[in-house]
Structure 1
Amino acid sequence: MKNHLSSKEYLSLREKKASLITIDVREQWEHEEDPVGTLHISVYELPKNLDKISQYKNHDIVVCCKTGKRGLIAMKLLKANGFTSVKNLEGGITALKDIYEFNSI
């Protein structure tokens, strides 16, 4: 199974699945600057907050950060803790913003 979603795949999935959970794993200041996601938990805070999101273990989850690196860490952590359908937003928020800028031309 593919572990990453491109920005286009993510936007398409988000349109089709109202139940999709997006977790922004960036720092608080980054999230405040560009809020994305249904939940915000920094990748560094994720291990001690797994109980707060345990109800989503069987939901489709996409984790996102600025470039995809912290998202990859978060995805692996969630999968190791029993979350069944987790994907990382490839290229992160940066890639997502590129699509919006391209489409607005």
Structure 2
Amino acid sequence: MEATAAELKQREQEGKNDYVLLDVREDYERAEFNIGGIHVPLGQLSMSMDKLTPYREQEIIIYCRSGKRSAMAQELLRQSGFKRVRNLEGGMLAYQE
């Protein structure tokens, strides 16, 4: 199940911080614009699973520029036993609209 930019913005407005944001973009992309969260570029995700282990039971919303890399990250996390992972549909492009 994917998360939408509208849903995420609404949750932010309501102060609902019952989820973890995971940014899988590269450093330069994050420097240009980001909405916070944990930063682990997709290429480093497999080696950085221990960084995410404390959040295994929480809802994790993953984002990238357009939603493609975050969809790959979502699958990697699911294969590693994370059950509540959602991809931000359309990524930062949709979020910034």
TM-score, scaled relative to structure 2:
0.92
Answer with 1 or 2: which has the greater Rg: 1
Aligned partner of 2:51 in structure 1 is 52
Aligned partner of 1:10 in structure 2 is 8
Counterpart-to-counterpart distance in 2, 1:4 and 1:16 = 20
1:47 Cα deviation from its structure 2 partner? 0.4
Counterpart-to-counterpart distance in 2, 1:89 and 1:37 = 14
> 3-state SS of the aligned residue for 1:61?
strand
| 4+ runs deviating over 4 angstroms | none
1:16 Cα deviation from its structure 2 partner? 5.2
Equivalent position amino acid for 2:32 in 1: E
Flag the 1:82–1:10 CA change in 2: closer, same or farther, 3 A.
Answer: same
Equivalent position amino acid for 1:6 in 2: T
Counterpart-to-counterpart distance in 2, 1:72 and 1:34 = 20
Identity across the alignment (%): 33
Q: Retained in 2: the 8 A contact 1:23–1:39?
A: yes
- Paired residues in the alignment total 96
Flag the 1:68–1:79 CA change in 2: closer, same or farther, 3 A.
Answer: same
Q: Retained in 2: the 8 A contact 1:21–1:37?
A: no
> 3-state SS of the aligned residue for 1:66?
coil
Instruction: Write the mapping of 1:18-37 to structure 2, written as runs, cut at 5 A.
Output: 18-37=17-36
Structure 1: give runs of 5+ residues left out of the alignment: 99-105
TM-score, scaled relative to structure 1:
0.85
1:20 Cα deviation from its structure 2 partner? 1.2
Superposed CA RMSD in Å reads 1.2
Aligned partner of 2:89 in structure 1 is 90
